[in-house]
Amino acid sequence: MLLLKLCILIESRQLGVDIHFSPETMPIQLTSQAYCKMLLHAAKYPNCAVNGLLVAEKTKDRKKDSEPVLCVDCLPLFHGTLALAPMLEVALTLIDTWCKENNYIIAGYYQANERKKDSRPNQVAEKVAARISENFSDAAIVMIDNSRLTMSCFEPIVIIYDHHENKWKSRDVTLDSFEDWSEAQKITSALLEGRSYENLIDFDNHLDDLRNDWTNPMINKSVLDLC
């Protein structure tokens, strides 16, 4: 655990970002399903940038500082060109409507950059996150650290950014950032090795053929079976 923390500290220092645990914004937590689908998306398109949204269940009262925001699912959006506006708007509106149906709210945005050593949020990430923040003030950006993506997934490879004083600052990613890290690790590793990412559908795939379902029911079922 200490070794893990040390690794993350060194990594962050190399990235030149502040490590800052901000008690004002609530930390997000990832379920196995959310974490695993993000990584599957990144693994499916190893030569492209990928991005997507994270959703949480909508609760009536949310007391500050008590419970973290649990991101229960992830919706993969695009691969390759992430910065073009019209399809992004379509996806955001469509997913927003879908969320309302299922009592979810868009709580975060994830992105894996094209280059292996680059894991900082760029303008696209900040713009989308700003949009999400309009409806959900504790929106977070989750960046995938491409350089550490392996089949075994022995450590979490995400960097979580919170909006604090008009800047996006990374926070300590501990095992508390996961609902159940060992489960997430086991499931993600199994699905990566089983090449389930070949069947992962993102919004781009959906636009290519409407029958492709961006909610990924098959993969969700696989995750459930492995729990």
Partner 1 sequence: MASVSEMYDVGWEEMRDKLRKWREDNRRNSEQIVDVGEELISEHASKLGDDREHVPFLIVLSPLPTSLQTCLQELRKQFPDSHRVKRLAGMRLEALERYEEANKHYDAILQDDPTNTAARKRKIAILKAQGKSTEAIRELNEYLDQLPLLFISSAAFCLEELMMTNPHNHLYCEQYAEVKYTQGGLENMELSRKYFAQALRLNNRNMRALFGLYMSASHIASSPKVSAKVKKDNIKYAAWAATQINRAYKLAGRGTKETKYSVKAVEEMLESMQITMS
Do 170 and 159 form a contact (C-beta atoms < 8 A)?
yes
CA angle 120, 125, 128 (to 5 degrees): 165
Fill in the per-residue mask, 74 to 103: x = in contact with partner 1 (CB under 8 A), - = not in contact: ---------xxxxx-xx--xxxxxx--x--
Q: 120: which DSSP letter?
A: S
Q: Return the number of the residue (197 or 214) whose C-beta is nearest partner 1.
A: 214
Tell me how far apart the alpha carbons of residues 29 and 178 are, in angstroms, rounded to a whole number. Answer: 5
Output the smallest distance, CB 217 to partner 1, in A. 5
Tell me how far apart the alpha carbons of residues 33 and 57 are, in angstroms, rounded to a whole number. Answer: 14
Output the smallest distance, CB 93 to partner 1, in A. 5
Tell me how far apart the alpha carbons of residues 194 and 180 are, in angstroms, rounded to a whole number. Answer: 21
Fill in the per-residue mask, 119 to 138: x = in contact with partner 1 (CB under 8 A), - = not in contact: ----x---------------
Output the smallest distance, CB 203 to partner 1, in A. 11
Give me 13's structure tokens. Answer: 């220092």
Q: Return the number of the residue (124 or 157) whose C-beta is nearest partner 1.
A: 124
Tell me which residues touch partner 1 (CB under 8 A): 83-87, 89-90, 93-98, 101, 123, 206-211, 213, 215, 217
